[in-house]
Structure 1
Amino acid sequence: MTENMVMSVVKEALFTGMLVGGPILILSLVVGLLVSIFQATTQIQEQTLTFVPKLIIIAITLIVGGSWMLNEIVKFTTKIMNMIAVIKG
């Protein structure tokens, strides 16, 4: 296995991780920001108020995009296993 192959695998692993985890992280960030703005304007300082909307958004995101996320992870895993089989001989 050459250095270029290792760098390619690492690059693709990071890209797949960002592709799969990105939507959940971005949506939870946006919801957290909106809840924080709401808390600042109403002066409600409840610490647990941010968790429930984030959990709901994450659950909806996983329900809507979960099959796509799983498909992307399976494609990456299959590619890695095929590379291992080729290297092993």
Structure 2
Amino acid sequence: MAGPACSTACSTVTCEATMETLNLFRQAMVLVVMLSAPPLLVAVVVGVLISLLQAVMQLQDQTLPFAVKLVAVGLVLAMTGRWIGVELIQLAMMAFNMIEQVRA
């Protein structure tokens, strides 16, 4: 993967900066998946459980799943908010440090 991206036409510094930028984008995409997984999984699990409960009890209320999922996802975000913030700040610091290194 590093071979085609770094041809002889580009300088070593430019090639390294490009590879670091691609690595930062890859880390950002992985971080997006990691940070969105807990609320998404909770919403899916709660939605399935509430749907099963509604099917068993033959309830036709459309607001019940929404309200329960909203509360569950809110609780998950409240519990994981600090971790999400720390991870986002670390990624931002890494990006700003990269900008500083490229300008130097």
Q: Which one-letter code corresponds to 1:19 in the other structure?
A: M
Report the secondary structure of 2:90's partner residue. helix
| Pairing 1:21–2:36 present | yes
- Distance in 2, Cα, partners of 1:7 & 1:85: 16
| Pairing 1:10–2:25 present | yes
Superposed CA RMSD: 1.1
Identify unmatched segments of 5+ residues in structure 2: 1-16
Task: Give the structure-2-normalised TM-score.
Answer: 0.78
Of structures 1 and 2, the one scoring higher in RCO (CA 8 A, sep 6+) is: 1
Percent identical pairs in the alignment equals: 30
Which structure dedicates a bigger proportion of its chain to helix? Answer: 1
How many residues align? The count is 88
Equivalent position to 1:50, from 59, 65, 74: 65
Which consecutive segments of 4 or more residues in structure 1 shift more than 6 A? none
Which of structures 1 and 2 has the bigger CA Rg?
Answer: 2
1:6: Cα distance to partner?
3.1
Identify unmatched segments of 5+ residues in structure 1: none
